[in-house]
Every structure is written in structure tokens, then in C-alpha cells.
Structure 1
Amino acid sequence: MKRNNRDSADSARRITRRALLLGGAQLAFGGVLAMRMRYMQVDQADEFRLLAEENRVKVRLLPPARGEMFDRNGAVIAKNEPSYRIVLVPEDAGDVEQVIARLANLIELDPDELAKARKEISQNAPFRPVTLADRVSWEAISRVAVNAPALPGITPEVGLSRQYPLGPDMAHVAGYVGPVSDYDLSKIDAPDQLLLIPRFQIGKVGVEAKLEDSLRGKAGNKQVEVNSAGREMRELNRREGQPGANLQLTIDHRLQNYVQARLGRESAAAVVMDCESGDILCAASAPSFDPNLFVRGISVKDYRDLTENKYRPLANKAVQGLYPPGSTFKMVTVLAALEAGEVTPDETVYCPGHMEISNRRFHCWKRAGHGQVDLLTSLRESCDVYYYDLALRVGIEKISEMARKLGLGERYDIPMSAIARGRAPTKDWKLETYGQDWVVGDTVNASIGQGYVLASPIQLAVMTARMATGRALAPRLVKSIDGVEQPMPSDAELDVNPEHLRLVRRAMYSVSNHRKGTAYGSRIIEDELRLAGKTGTSQVRNITAEERRRGVTRNEDLPWERRDHALFVNFAPYKDPKFAVAVVVEHGGGGSTAAAPIARDITLQALYDGEPPLEAYPKAARSKVKAQQERLRRERREFLKRESDRA
């Protein structure tokens, strides 16, 4: 059937309309496509060029040089030394075990290091580099470089490793670094990418750990061109990292070395503080250890030897150790009584060798008693009964308040690990801690530095410096950072009557320079350098009434762990204090016999800035001191030779 003209016209119009719509759609699509192509080829050209570059260019982090550490005179405490290592990137290696086998034919691989590397490969992402061999020789690096085409994914690298030239002398102060562990990463919310570099070293203890952020620095990077197999072909660009800050500590390494040697095989600690600035010149803890053992991971045997040693060489006793201060605390008690107006210098107390308090007998160290004693005599001869009497008048609150004024019971803001707060107890403290009321016997014990009172050697040094100067000195350990002098802590006037401090200082002088003084045998002969000090002996066991009846067992007849701690604090010179010294010898017996001679020798070493003349010692001690000086010089020479051979 033929279409009429009208139908044909309608059909033609519909076809034309569809064609126009289709053509318009095609034109629009072509326009959008053209615009998109222009956007991608012109506007986003740089971005896509970068994506293409990333297929052949890899970015590697460059660890910065760790800041170095120096003593107050510029001697190196911690430095960096070149270290060669072989690194594997698993995703670039293909067959990892085959590559490792080829490498083992070229250089010797440590089985333990290899086991550690395999573990890291299984746990980490395939793009994370893994160290197969550390501290390899230059010859080994050369062999690997020559055979590079047969070792895909293998890269020889040179880095920096930490080294401690002074060895055990500075171990407890500087601390040490070690490879980043999973435990380290677990403590950080958003770890720096540097920490993911294989075997990257961070501070573990001591200044290394406490000032890690300053010492670490900031990473750099390098861009390297790689081929289709992932082999590095050439370096395209390099941006060096920002090295860590260099630190200068207040420690005098020569004095520190002498003190470590003088403490010898004792389990002991000693602190020397500058009475003018508060600078810590020495913070020694014995026995010590070699921090270099920890830098690349200490062996199981070496670590067991340290942890199973009853003298606890890993503990920094100078700041971590807490001890009953014994009779060194008597200056605190007498100052509290003087400030409270409860005693006068001339007032006497009768000491028959004990005091009955609340149906309990509190003994003096001198069984026969001291008779009538005043303030000066009580400190000079260390009469306990005199302080029992003061304690009953003054009370624990005022005694502990004075202790805190003098720096006890305070955690100092210095970059060392596990600094102990110590304890200046109060009634509320005992109730909160033990749920028990404070009793009068607690106050009596505290008055002679026993019972709940605890102090560290550094706190005792601060206490002594404050009494010597009348200023609220605080310790400082960092002298400068990148050459910028660090501010000294506040040293406002101590809130104690200066006349009362003079009385105590005069009594301390008598302790060391009067024939009846408990430290007379450890005096300094040179008039202008005479020291003022106080002995202390703190019990670590309970002496029963039965033992007292039959006679108290001598320290030397007891097992080492049950002997008394020996303490001595002093400042010198008496007329113009320059140094404050505190010595604690764990289970050393008596303060006058074990701690005082060490403190006297340390004080002389500081005063003379080196080995003192024999004429500075009492005549009776000179032959012993001469032999001791010769032994220490010999040990120092042997140490320096060992360090030289190792380097």
C-alpha cells in the first residue's frame, strides 16, 4: 500500500529529528572526550608524567647522622662510625632463597643474622628492605658490588653505627642505642618512617633515650633509576637529611673515669655536684657495663651475665637506687628542730645508749651511750638518742617538710632513665599507702634516716649542696645543645635561716676534722681544702632483742646481702664550697670505714682536677693511697690500650 504524502513527510521529519539528536549526542560525547583528553594530556601532564616516572624511579629514605655527645671539656662520649651492610628488598629479588644462596657463596653470612632476616621477611611488607649482613668488611662489599647482576634485590649500603669510646665509664649516663623493636613501635602512635628502616638505631636508656628526638635528626631521601628487574641503575637526585643535635653534658669524663675506678668492684654509687652551678660533674654507678655490647643486639650469654649479677650492673644506682639515708639525714632533723624553735645549739640531751618510747627501747649505735650531748657533739659523734628526743618534739610533718626543702623526695628533671623520687614520709602518706595510722615509733626511726625515709645518691648530693650554699640548687646534666648553652635551673635562696645552716655546717666540719669525729680518719690535711661531711650507716635487717643481749653480729660476719649500707656526704672546701659529694656503698658496713675514704678521695680528685699530692692525705693513709694511685693508673693504661686495639 502506498503511503500518502503526509505520512511520508511525517516520517522524514522523525528521521531528521533522530539524526539530529544522535548527531548532537555524538558531537557532545566527542566534545567531552576531547576536553577530557586535553585535561589529561595538558592540565594533568605533570601528574601522569610523575606516575610514569615512579614506574622506573624509586625513592629511598636516607637516615640522618645521629647527634654526637661530648663531656664538658669536649671529650667524645658517643660518636658515629661507618658501618657496611647488605640489604635485600624481597619484592625485587624474585626467588629470595635463591638470591640468599648466591650471596652466601660470595660472603659469610651469620646464621643468627640470617634467621632474624628471614623472620623479618615473613612479617614485613615485600617492599621493606631487610638487612642480611651487618658490619661486613669492605672486601665483602666489593664482591657483592661486582656480582650485582646475579643478585637482584641485593644492595650494599654504608651507614653509621653508634660507638662509645669511654666504654663502661659513661654507660649509665649516656645509655646506649639499639635496633628498633616491635615493642618500641608499639609505644608510638604514628612512628617516624625512619624507624621502619631495617636495624635503625634509637636510644634505649639514658640520655640516648631521653633526648632521642633531639639526637635522631630528620631523614633525607634519594631518587634512583631502576630497570625492569628492579636493579638500581643510577642515582637521579639526593637530598641529605638534617643531622641530630650535638649534646655537651656537664659530666667531666676524667673525674667520672677516676670515680668508676675508685669504686672498683663494690656495688656502689657516687655523685659529684658543682656548688656554684648545680652541674653534675660525675654520676657513677658500679659495677658498670660496656654499652657497645647493646648497639647491634647483645648476645644471650652476655645479657644473662649482666642480669644475673647480684651487684646489678645494669641499674643506675646514682639516680635509681633508693636507700635509707641513715645518719646523713640527721642534718635534716636538726634543721627542722632549729627552724621550729624546739632546740638551741647549747641545749643538751643525755644519752645512756638507748631511749624508752611507748614501751619499746630505741638504741643508740654506741651501746654505752654518749652522755650529755649538744647539737655539735651529736652530729660529730652521730648520737642517735639526741635525734630521738628532737623527733618527739618536732614531729614527722616538719621533719619531712625540711627534707623536701633540701631536695629529698623530689624527682629531678634531668635526662636519665628511671629517676627515683625517694620518700619524705608523712602521716597521710602512710595512711594512703598502707591504710595504717602513723605511730610515734615511725617518727623516731625517721629522725635518724631509717624506717620509711628513702633517698638516692643524687638527692643526697643536692641536699649537701643546698646546705653548703644556702641556695635551692637543682642538678643540671646538659650543658649545651648544638653549642647553645642551656639555662641553669633556678637557685633561689633556700627558705632556711642562714644562721641555722652555719651551725650545721660547723658541726659537719667537726665530723671530719675533730679527733672524735666519725670521719676523722678520712680528713683532708690541706687547710684551705678541708671538707665538711657526715657519715651514715643504714640497717637493712632487723636486730632482735636476743641478738642485742648476746652481742650484735658484726657486718663482716654476715652474708653480703644482710650487711648495712655505708653512706657519706660532704662538701669542700669548707670556707668556699665548690663541690658536693655523695657516696653510697651497698652493704658496705660502716659509713666511716667504707664510704668516707672513697668520698675523700673523690673530693681531692675534683679539687686538684687530677691526681692529688700525697701530702693532702693524713700520714697514716699515705702508703695505702700511693699503692691505690699506682693501681688505678695501671688499670687506666690497660683500659686505654684495650680501647685502642678494639678501634
Structure 2
Amino acid sequence: MFCVIGAFSLLLVRLFFLQVIEGEEYRRLSENNCIRLQSIKAPRGLIFDAKQRLLVDNRPAFNLTIVPKDARPVEKTIGRLSAYTQIPEEAFYKKLKGSRRRGAYKPVVLKPDISRDLLAVVEAHKFDLPGIAIEILPKRHYLYRYAAHLIGYLGEISAAELKSGQYPESQGGDSVGKFGIEKSGEGELRGKSGGRQVEVNARGQVVRVLKTVDAVPGCNIHMTIDHRLQVTAESLLAEQVGAVVAADAETGNILAMANSPTFDQNAFVTGMSHKDWNTLITDPYRPMENKVIQGEYPPASTYKIVTAIAGLEEGVIDENTTFFCPGYYRYGDRTFRCWRRSGHGSVNVAGALTVSCDVFFYQVGQRLGVDRLARYARACGLGKRTGIRLGHEGDGLIPTAAWKKKRVGVPWQRGETLSIAIGQGYNLATPLQMVMLTAAVANGGTLYRPHIIKKIVSAGGDIVLEAKPEAIGRLPASPETLRIVKKGLWQVVNGSRGTARLAKVDGVRISGKTGTAQVVSRKKNEDKQRKNVSRHLKPHAWFVAYGEKNGEQIAVTVIVEHGEHGSSAAAPIARDLIRAYFMADEEEHHAE
């Protein structure tokens, strides 16, 4: 009896220890084995154009995953999976090896975004594959292969981004915006993840769902760009290397932003090989660069708008001041050539803009000096970022005497001002800066901050943000000065001596300015041998313009790298884009 009682006493003590003292711990371990939490990724917000056309959507993606603890013996499960899917075992082990630090019950993605055929194979053999599951996630889908630099793309979050604190709800393996609107609108586009509590059996398969907290989709972004105008811009630029940007002159809204060459955003979603990535980043034409905001070029003769404004406002010239152009200008011991070797004769400021006379603006620049020119250029929005809601915007460069002394270590030479006055030398500007300057000239002097987001709407339909025109300053020009400058720009397109007569469109009042930005100094006889000059040594072709019809105004800037002549390479692109804009308005008006 004593032995029996002693044995049962030991059993009771052990049961008391396991169920009462250690009961909570074993209950926790048991629940971890049969009840698990699964994350529900939030669908990313959609992106629309200004007229409600869907540009960026989400599609379901099926990820092949494994829970190592449930897949025991792992070697046997992996072997079966390889046989069923025809995927080498080494590929699966490579994924497992890279995730050793994850918890034993955390799913590891063996192959992301599998095909529906492969999905069917796995589902058909799921009872032979313990620990193997299909995870369904929303995947980004770009409906049109355009505006890649503006819309941007997604990529896997990096270790540095995780540590930055800018992505509080993200974890390794998540996709975040890397470029364009996808990056700058990350906070609004990214929703709030949900989760569910599920009960699983010994094979790791879900038996039932106990509780679900739904994910909250991200906000939808409505951009300011017009689908049809964007398509037109990209098609006009397709055979060139350069950029086109169009803006509403009365609001600052960006209507189109095209870059060439471009890239396929969906390639980043589906996965890109190292070879393809290296091809993109080593391409000499820089397809990954948003040339509209990052490309910094000498503004060439388009800068003469600034020189004209400065000269008129400072009183060094007036509307009737004329200078004689024999085709060159001697300053000190140097001879500065005009683009037209035979000269332009006597011209005033409007006429000098019309024929793009270098000699006239050499003399205006000489009288102004570099620092006064720089003050007006910066007041016109050059040499600083516009503030557009996109990352990596370039500043451009407006030189001063102090800047050169600090940067180069030598004093400014007065002869250098002559080159600055016609947009050469150290001057640099982005196409976006030039289109906002052009828009300000068109609208009477108001500089607007460029907007690419029209409104942001929550998944429930509430307006989170609605952009309104944001004036950030005024051109340093009186109404009379603007009248004179606009007269010259009108004659550039419509005058008998204008340099951009190819830009004329019947029924639309178009004004503009051509520019030819040298990338290297030319030898004296090189102009006679232009056909033999390598393409990469040819000048960049600029054209800035604005079109008016029925009270509407659109400003356009075109840069064609190594296009040589703004009149022949850039002006026709701007002309066709302006024509398309007003034709689309007429078609919509008739449809209504």
C-alpha cells in the first residue's frame, strides 16, 4: 500500500507541477503550435491620371512558401516539391539558407509570383507537402509602359531603409517606392496591414480562421498629367534622347512629363536579372534618369529671356535700343562670334529675341555684369529647385563672381559674362525650371510651384489632399517689360525672320525661344564640317514655348540631346504637343 500510495503521490505531484506551476508555459507552447498569426498585406493605393483613367493597379501574386518547422523532414518535403514543380532543389535550399535567422514558424518564400499552372500543381499535391503553402499578396501592375520616370517603381526595402525609421510598419521583403510618385507618395499609397488568427493542424495547414483584422488599403493618387497628352509626348520623343515637359501656365500643374530612353516598370515588379540591371545603369543615354528634373544643361539662347528682362528692368536698354551685329563682337583681345556669321545688322531687344542675335545680348550682358544677371536669373526661378514633389531634383547652376572664386579659386573675368548672357559658360538649368519660367512669362509674371498630384483620395472616398495653384513668386519684370519680351517671343514663331517658324500652328497663338547648347568648344572651321562631327559632340537642342487659345495656356519645354538645332529638332516636337493639347480640348468640347 505504501508503494502504491507513494507512486500515485509522485504522479499527482508531477501533474500538479505540469498543469498548475508550468501550465501557462505549456499552454503558450501548445498555442504556438496550433494557433498562429498571419499578416494581411494592405493593397497599395491606385494611381490615376487627371481624367480618372487608371494607370497603376494591383494584381494578385501567388508566392510559394514553406514553414520549416511544419515541413519536417525538410529534405523529403523539398525533394517532393522539386519533383512536382520541376524546380531544382538547390534553388529552394538557397532561399532557406538566406532565411536562417527567421523564426521556425515564419513562412519563407521559396519562389515569388508563381504562375497559375504551378499554383495548380502545388494545390493538387498539398497533402503530400507538409509546411508548403501559397501566400496571396497584392502585386503592383503598371497598365501602360509610359511615364516611368514620373510614376516610378517599387523595389524590395533595403536594410538602410528599414533602419531609417521612415517605414515604420515595413519589414524585410516588403516592397516600397524607389522612384517617382511611388516614392514621394509612399506615405499615402502604403496602406495599413491587417492580420488573422488561424488554427493549423500538425502539418501546418489551416483548419479554421479564428479572428480577422482587415487591412486598410492605401490612398489613391490622382495625378495632374493627361493620358493622351502623355502618350503623344512619349511618341514624339521616341526616336530621340532627351525630355519633354508641359505645364498649365495658369496653375503650374504638370500635364505631361516624358523622358527618352525609358524603361519598363513591370520588370522591377516581376524581378530583374543583374545583367538587365547593369545594362540599364551603364547605358550612355541614361534611361534611369528623369531628365526633366535631373538633367542639367546649359540653357543656351533660351536664357536670353532672362538677359532681356534684366537689361530692360535695369535700364541698360529700352525697347528702342539697337546694336549693330556684323556677325561678331570684339571684347578685349577676344572675338565673340554670333551664331550667324554674316550678322543680323541693327536689332532692338524684340528683334534680337526673334533672330536670337548673340551680339546684342553680349553687349547687354557686358553692361549688366555677372552678379546682376545672376540676381535676375534666380528671381526667375533658375539655379534652385522648383519644389516639385519628386526626389532627386537638380538645382541647376547660376554662377556669380563669388561662386567662381570659391569653386575654381580664380577671379571672375569680365569676358566670361558675355558667354553667360547667352546661356553658355557655367550656366545650367533643368527642363522643369525652364518650363516654369516660360509659364510665368505666358501668364503675366506669376511663378508657380509645379504640381504633379491633383488630389489624394482615401479608400473610403474621402479627399485627403486637393492641390491648389501655389504661387511662389513673381518674375522681376514690369508689365511693360513682359510685353516687350512676349513680342519678341511671338516673332520667333510668327515673324518672317523668326528662328522657330516650324512651330507655327493655325488657330493657336504660339510664342517661343530656340536654343543651341554647345557641349564642347568648336574649332574655327568645324562649323563647315558638321556632318563629320560625332553625335556626342553636337550641341543640345532647346525649345521653350507657350500656346494660347480660348483663354487656355500651355507651356512646353523640349530638350533633345545632341539634336544640334532647336529650330529643327526641338521646335516641331513642341508644336505637335501643343496642337495635340488643343485638339483634345476641342474633341472633348464637341463630345459634350
TM-score by length of 2: 0.89
- 1:136 partnered with 2:77: no
Deviation at 1:287, TM superposition (A): 1.5
Aligned to 1:602: 577
Question: Matches of residues 9-28 of structure 1 in structure 2 within 5 Å?
Answer: none
Quote the Cα distance in structure 1 between the aligned partners of 2:383 and 2:25.
62
- Identity of aligned pairs, percent? 36
Deviation at 1:493, TM superposition (A): 4.6
Aligned to 1:531: 510
Question: Matches of residues 36-185 of structure 1 in structure 2 within 5 Å?
Answer: 53-109=31-87, 114=92, 117-122=95-100, 124-167=102-145, 169-185=146-162
Deviation at 1:590, TM superposition (A): 0.7
Q: Is the 2:309–2:476 contact (alpha carbons within 8 Å) kept by the matching residues of 1?
A: no
Give ranges in structure 1 of 5+ residues lacking alignment: 1-36, 613-647
Bigger fraction of residues in helix = 1
Aligned to 2:439: 465
Question: Matches of residues 313-328 of structure 1 in structure 2 within 5 Å?
Answer: 313-328=287-302
3-state DSSP of counterpart to 1:580: strand
Q: Is the 1:348–1:374 contact (alpha carbons within 8 Å) kept by the matching residues of 2?
A: yes
Aligned to 1:202: 176
Deviation at 1:125, TM superposition (A): 4.6
Deviation at 1:498, TM superposition (A): 1.1
Specify whether residues 133 and 108 from structure 1 end up closer, same or farther in structure 2 by C-alpha distance, changes over 3 A only: farther
Alignment RMSD (CA, Å): 2.6
Quote the Cα distance in structure 2 between the aligned partners of 1:468 and 1:408.
17
Aligned to 2:13: none
Aligned counterpart for 2:556 among listed residues 571, 581, 604: 581
Q: Is the 1:538–1:565 contact (alpha carbons within 8 Å) kept by the matching residues of 2?
A: yes
Deviation at 1:86, TM superposition (A): 1.0
- 1:513 partnered with 2:502: no
Quote the Cα distance in structure 2 between the aligned partners of 1:514 and 1:268.
28
Deviation at 1:271, TM superposition (A): 0.6
Question: Matches of residues 200-599 of structure 1 in structure 2 within 5 Å?
Answer: 200-228=174-202, 230-469=204-443, 470-482=445-457, 483=463, 484-490=465-471, 493-526=474-507, 529-543=508-522, 547-548=523-524, 550=525, 552-573=527-548, 576=551, 578-599=553-574
- Return the letter of the residue paired with 1:195: Q
Aligned to 1:625: none
Quote the Cα distance in structure 2 between the aligned partners of 1:116 and 1:441.
65
3-state DSSP of counterpart to 1:608: helix
Quote the Cα distance in structure 1 between the aligned partners of 2:549 and 2:344.
27
- Return the letter of the residue paired with 1:520: R
Q: Is the 1:508–1:533 contact (alpha carbons within 8 Å) kept by the matching residues of 2?
A: yes
- Return the letter of the residue paired with 2:527: V
Q: Deviations 1:516-563 (Å, cap 9, x if unpaired)?
A: 11112321232xx120101100101112xxx31x45244432111100
Quote the Cα distance in structure 2 between the aligned partners of 1:603 and 1:341.
35
Specify whether residues 433 and 125 from structure 1 end up closer, same or farther in structure 2 by C-alpha distance, changes over 3 A only: farther
Specify whether residues 368 and 515 from structure 1 end up closer, same or farther in structure 2 by C-alpha distance, changes over 3 A only: same
Aligned to 1:31: none
Deviation at 1:307, TM superposition (A): 3.0
- 1:188 partnered with 2:164: yes
Q: Is the 1:77–1:174 contact (alpha carbons within 8 Å) kept by the matching residues of 2?
A: no
Quote the Cα distance in structure 2 between the aligned partners of 1:288 and 1:418.
17
Quote the Cα distance in structure 2 between the aligned partners of 1:588 and 1:120.
49
Quote the Cα distance in structure 2 between the aligned partners of 1:292 and 1:425.
41
Specify whether residues 136 and 275 from structure 1 end up closer, same or farther in structure 2 by C-alpha distance, changes over 3 A only: same
Deviation at 1:327, TM superposition (A): 0.3
3-state DSSP of counterpart to 1:92: coil
Quote the Cα distance in structure 1 between the aligned partners of 2:562 and 2:249.
29
Q: Deviations 1:575-616 (Å, cap 9, x if unpaired)?
A: 95510000000000111111111111111111212799xxxx
395-404 vs 115-124, greater mean Cα deviation: 115-124
Q: Is the 1:178–1:202 contact (alpha carbons within 8 Å) kept by the matching residues of 2?
A: yes
Quote the Cα distance in structure 1 between the aligned partners of 2:577 and 2:238.
13
- Return the letter of the residue paired with 1:61: S
Quote the Cα distance in structure 2 between the aligned partners of 1:452 and 1:591.
20
Quote the Cα distance in structure 1 between the aligned partners of 2:224 and 2:506.
29
Alignment size in residue pairs? 563
Aligned to 1:639: none
Deviation at 1:367, TM superposition (A): 1.1
- Return the letter of the residue paired with 1:516: R
Quote the Cα distance in structure 2 between the aligned partners of 1:577 and 1:429.
40
Quote the Cα distance in structure 2 between the aligned partners of 1:340 and 1:465.
23
Q: Deviations 1:468-510 (Å, cap 9, x if unpaired)?
A: 1111222111000114422332255544211101110011001
Quote the Cα distance in structure 2 between the aligned partners of 1:589 and 1:99.
64
Quote the Cα distance in structure 1 between the aligned partners of 2:369 and 2:56.
49
3-state DSSP of counterpart to 1:571: strand
- Return the letter of the residue paired with 1:163: H
Quote the Cα distance in structure 2 between the aligned partners of 1:478 and 1:509.
31
3-state DSSP of counterpart to 2:244: strand
TM-score by length of 1: 0.82
Aligned to 1:644: none
Quote the Cα distance in structure 1 between the aligned partners of 2:114 and 2:578.
46
Deviation at 1:50, TM superposition (A): 6.7
Q: Deviations 1:287-333 (Å, cap 9, x if unpaired)?
A: 11111111132123433433343322221111111110100000100
3-state DSSP of counterpart to 2:222: strand
Quote the Cα distance in structure 2 between the aligned partners of 1:287 and 1:440.
39
- Return the letter of the residue paired with 1:102: R
3-state DSSP of counterpart to 2:197: strand
Q: Is the 1:555–1:564 contact (alpha carbons within 8 Å) kept by the matching residues of 2?
A: no
Deviation at 1:55, TM superposition (A): 4.7
Quote the Cα distance in structure 1 between the aligned partners of 2:267 and 2:59.
15
Specify whether residues 312 and 453 from structure 1 end up closer, same or farther in structure 2 by C-alpha distance, changes over 3 A only: same
Q: Is the 2:442–2:553 contact (alpha carbons within 8 Å) kept by the matching residues of 1?
A: no
Bigger fraction of residues in strand = 2
Q: Is the 2:448–2:469 contact (alpha carbons within 8 Å) kept by the matching residues of 1?
A: no
